[in-house]
Amino acid sequence: MGKALFDRQLVAGHMIPTLYKHMCGWPCQFADLEQVDEEVYENLKKLLEMNPEEMEYCCLDFTVTEEVMDVKQEIELVPGGKDMDVTCDNLPEYMEATLQYKMMGRVKPQLNELLLGFFDVIPEPILTIFDFQELELLMCGLPEIDLDDWRDNTEYAGEFDRVGSNHDTVLWFWEVVEEFDHEMRARLLQFVTGTSGVPARGFAVLQGNDGNVRKFTVHGVDAGEFVYPRAHTCFNRIDLPLYRTKADLKQKLELAVTMVATGFDIE
């Protein structure tokens, strides 16, 4: 990959966003865990809502169980983790330790070799001028996005379930996407699906993180729930508030798409 980037050759395959973050030296966030292990991500979110008594019933400690070659292994997230019970007080430390293990610890040898090989060709300081989304576009190029195919293979849910593509907000959404240049369309696709890659057979076979076909979905929500659009990359879904004007929709969508690379929650 480093040689291809050095020689200005495009890489056909796309990687998950966290790998581009590692290459840029960006920290991984809790939301990134959803793309790697959705089940663990959802279970950790549930722990945040538990009271001390419910947490005790879970009987959790600072370990994880991995199965390698049909052999189960218990791995400590921190030294002495098997003797440390998870409580409401140390839950943040447990979540951070789990995140570090899932995103880096379990693949540390492979990740180290990948980065050492890449930085041997492309010095790490050079990449600091890019965010992780720009790095993907730099390595893989801007995709040729067939807007008609994208629109024809989009599903609608929530507030748009009945009216679908005829809803005013949906009509504004596609008008805004038409006005976007190639880079902004690619960034929108990255924002919602986690990658700028388009399947060779088109959006009809767009896949989720589980490998199953999950079409691009526009999910309508009440504007009072949140101000900016939100993405669920596991489901290729964007939650789009019911804005009052097209101009408001365009402004909020552009901010959401461009600010995601900063690592800050614009809410």
Q: How far is residue 162 CA from its own chain's centroid? A: 28
DSSP H helices, the chain, are 2-6, 17-24, 33-36, 38-47, 52-58, 91-103, 108-121, 132-140, 147-152, 168-179, 182-193, 246-259
Angle between helical axes of 168-179 and 246-259 (0-180°, round to 10):
60
Q: Catalytic residue among 24, 58, 140, 234, which?
A: 234
Strands 216-221 and 154-158, by their bridges, are: parallel
Least Cα distance to 26 among 121, 92, 104, 79 occurs for 104
Asked if 28 is an active-site residue, the reply is no
Catalytic positions: 234
